[in-house]
Amino acid sequence: MSFDTNSWLDNLSVKWKILAPFCFLAGVIGLSLIALFFVAFSRYQDSVVEDRAKHLSSSIVYALETMRYHTELERYVAILGAEVDVDLLLIVDPATEYVFVSNRVAFRESMARDLPDGALASEVVQSIEEPSSRGMLMWGANTASYAVAAPSLRLDGARSRELVIFVRLKTKSVTAQSSGMAQQLAIGLLAALALAMLVASKLLYDLVISPLSKLSAIAHARTVDPETMAPFTRRLDEFGELSRSVLQSFTEARENANRFEIQAQSDSLTGLGNRVLFKERLHMALAHAERSGKIVALMILDLDNFKDVNDTLGHDVGDQLLQRVATILKESSRQVDTVVRLGGDEFAIIADDLDRIDGVLVHANRILTALSEPQMINGHEVHPGVSIGITSYPQDARDPDVLLKNADLALYRVKAEGRGNIQLYRHELHLKVIERNAIERDLRTAITEEQFVLYYQLKVDTETGGIVGAEALIRWRHPERGMIPPDVFIPVAEKNGSICKLTDWVLTEACAEIRRMMDMGLPPVSVAVNVSALDLRRPDFTDQVAATLVRAGVSPKYLEIEVTESTVMHDVDQVIGTLRRLRALGVSISIDDFGTGYSSLAYLKQFPVQTLKIDRSFVADMTDDLNSHAIPQLIVDLARNLGVSVIAEGVETEEQRELLLSMGCGQAQGYLFSPPVPSAAFVEMLEDKVCFPRENKLDESSDSPLPVSVA
């Protein structure tokens, strides 16, 4: 059997390493003491027996010296022999080998039978003659004999002879008293030894084992702090030294860990916490709120103009702006709130222990106001602006990841609706996302399954009501959801890129429609197609348009492209390039929703535009108040100055038509004339040469008005 002694010993706890040898030593000492005791005790007993034998033989010697008749001696010896501890008393005459005195009445007879007197006498005499064996003779376990030479005596007038006195004692009786005492002494000694061991082990335990186990427990629990360690570190012994070293290394380790943790959890630029700290604090806040039943609010903040600041004023100013924002966020928040920078220009605030959510709105408003103030950085006036999305526990969600998503969604909403605002997460926002995902999924198959249809809305001459063109507007006939308006799916298609396929489909359909009109012998009107920013960034877009026109056999002059104002303001150079190529092809271009996109007039001059479309919100806002006419009037004047046409969208009432007419807006589009209609209804209206208003209907024979934007 192989047995690794070292590892076995190593695995033994120090307690047992100390206690086991200690117990072993105590056992050895105890056993040695007992053995020593027995040796000493038997020696002592021997001396007791010897003393007693000496005493008896001295008495007999004295009697021999003083008594004249051996009968007197016999009586005296009989008295002595009757004592309890005396087994046998003999007076032997070595000359005759005759035993003549015994204490026992029946002695002579028994001696005669078991041991002839002569033999006994010679044995006794022999023992006297051998000096070494003088003294004690052990006869069995329970008796001891003692023989002594007596002086020459003259008894009964006989000649003097040397006699031997033989004493045999019952050792038990002799030592009875002393052994009782010795037993008590032994028990006392053992008890004292046991007590000493107990005291020693208690001391050992208190002084060595207990401090050692406490030290190892402290080290193990890693709750090493100066206060709990004080009883140890104050000591001057090895434990003191050990605990001081342990405390020092733990303190150093903790300081290093703290330093590392702070570094790992903070944002080096702003000094705020980072995403790591954010996650940890959010978990803690939610756990605490679960116990306390309070509310936790989570705010995600995103700077509105950070990219512009970075691009125009440089990264140094950008960095300083982020630091300034960090200070403002800290100052606008409570001490207990967690303010972190999640990355880039995105910040987050966790406000916990709230009774109501209202306080957070006040908090968010305070931040919004502070960040809408211009900031002076390196002599530049910077307008950071911020959008804030807010969600709360437990109303909106209980899971930290879901809460974060909610806040992001609310923030996205603010951004989509024009920035610089606050949005609380609502469940509807979430539903919108779900709907959005469903739309995105269904869009993939919608074209191949021919679920799209193209509607046409007339553009008319504001004064005469004659048809001057049409706008193609896409509709989605969803097999389950019914008709889905473009406002719902166009943004999704723009986001996932499928808008390009949609535009191709619309272009093909619109050109086919123009072809159909021509084939039917109808006077063709130009049809406008809406295109998105992504289309304008396609390098092959112009080729695509040209190919579609060629395939349908339609002249470019009948096609119009509508781009929204915000679309053309992105990647201006690229967009201008595409628009110029389209224009060179012969396609006309109009700017849709004009007035809503804060377009730069400087750029506008560079765009090869033929028409501005006044956004329907300005038309809807027109009332008796002259101020409400200002923007449409401005756009009409601008168009005139730029030498382009102008058309108003969303004209719903006769009053609006008249007002627009009075402003000089030559064309209009809206429900007053016709809603967007399917191809068949559109063709019908063309066939009828419908004129709006009806009373102004043009004469059948008159020429159909030409498209205004024909190049």
Binding site for ligand C2E (CB under 6 A): 457, 473-474, 485-487, 490, 506, 530-532, 562, 592-593, 616, 649-652, 669-671, 676
Smaller CB separation from ligand C2E, 274 or 674: 674
Q: Are 342 and 275 in contact (CB under 8 A)?
A: yes
The strand pair at 526-530 and 467-478 is best described as: parallel
Closer CB to Mg ion, 459 or 629, in the complex? 459
Contact partner, 670, from ligand C2E, Mg ion, none, Cβ < 5-8 Å per class = ligand C2E
- What would the x/- binding string for Mg ion be over residues 641 to 660, using CB under 5 A? --------x-----------
- Nearest approach in angstroms of CB 436 to Mg ion is 22
Instruction: Candidates 38-46, 314-322, 508-516, 587-595: pick the segment binding Mg ion (CB under 5 A).
Output: 587-595
Taking the complex as a whole, the smallest distance from the CB of residue 457 to Mg ion amounts, in Å, to 9
What's the chain's length in residues?
711
Q: Of 512-541, which residues contact Mg ion (CB under 5 A)?
A: 530
Q: Which is nearer to Mg ion, 272 or 609 (CB)?
A: 609
The distance of closest approach from Cβ of residue 433 to ligand C2E in the complex, given in angstroms and rounded to an integer, is: 21
Q: Residue 592, interface with Mg ion (CB under 5 A)?
A: yes
Residue 60 vs 467, nearer CB to Mg ion: 467
Strands 386-393 and 422-424: parallel
| Closer by beta carbon to ligand C2E, 425 or else 489 | 489
List own/partner pairs for 159-164 with CB under 8 A and 24 or more apart.
161/93, 161/95, 162/94, 162/95, 163/64, 163/91, 163/92, 163/93, 163/94, 164/90, 164/91, 164/92, 164/93, 164/94, 164/121, 164/124, 164/125, 164/128
**Is 143:170 a contact under the CB 8 Å cutoff?**
yes
Stretch that binds Mg ion, among 58-66, 88-96, 221-229, 560-568 (CB under 5 A): 560-568
CA 238 to chain centroid? 40
| CB 506, min distance to ligand C2E, A | 4
Amino acid (one-letter) located at 300? I
Q: How far is the CB of 432 from ligand C2E (least distance, A)?
A: 17
> 454 forms bridges with which residues in the sheet?
474
Q: Name the residue nearer to Mg ion (CB basis): 351 or 474.
A: 474
Q: Which partner from the list Mg ion, ligand C2E, none does 423 bind, CB cut-off 5 to 8 Å by kind?
A: none
- Residue 650 near which of ligand C2E, Mg ion, none (CB within 5-8 Å, type-dependent): ligand C2E
Closest to ligand C2E by CB, 613 or 629: 613
Query: What's the min distance (Å) between Cβ of 560 and ligand C2E?
Result: 12
**3-class secondary structure, 680:** helix
272 binds, among ligand C2E, Mg ion, none (CB under 5 to 8 A by kind): none
Contact partner, 18, from Mg ion, ligand C2E, none, Cβ < 5-8 Å per class: none
Determine the angle formed by the axes of helices 427-446 and 486-496, rounding to 10 degrees: 70
- Here the contacts of 276-280 (C-beta below 8 Å, separation 24 or greater) are 277/338, 277/340, 278/338, 278/340, 278/342, 278/348, 278/350, 279/400
Residue 447: phi, psi to the nearest 5?
-70, -50
Q: Give the max Cα distance, the chain.
A: 203
Q: Which of 563, 523, 446, 538 is nearest to 707 (CA)?
A: 523
Q: Tell the smallest beta-carbon distance from residue 619 to ligand C2E (Å).
A: 8
Q: What angle do CA 670, 676, 682 make, to 5 degrees?
A: 110
CB neighbourhood size of 688 (10 A): 11
The answer to whether 562 contacts Mg ion (rule: CB under 5 A) is yes
Q: Give dist(CA 545, CA 6) in Å, integer.
A: 89
Angle CA(553)–CA(689)–CA(523) in degrees, nearest 5?
A: 20
d(CA 347, CA 303): 9
- Choose from Mg ion, ligand C2E, none: what does 532 bind? Cβ within 5-8 Å by kind: ligand C2E
Q: Shortest Cβ distance from residue 595 to Mg ion (Å)?
A: 10
Assess 593 for contact with Mg ion (CB under 5 A).
Answer: yes
Closer to Mg ion by CB, 56 or 511: give it: 511
Nearer to ligand C2E, 337 or 535 (CB): 535
**Site for Mg ion, rule CB under 5 A:** 530, 562, 592-593, 649
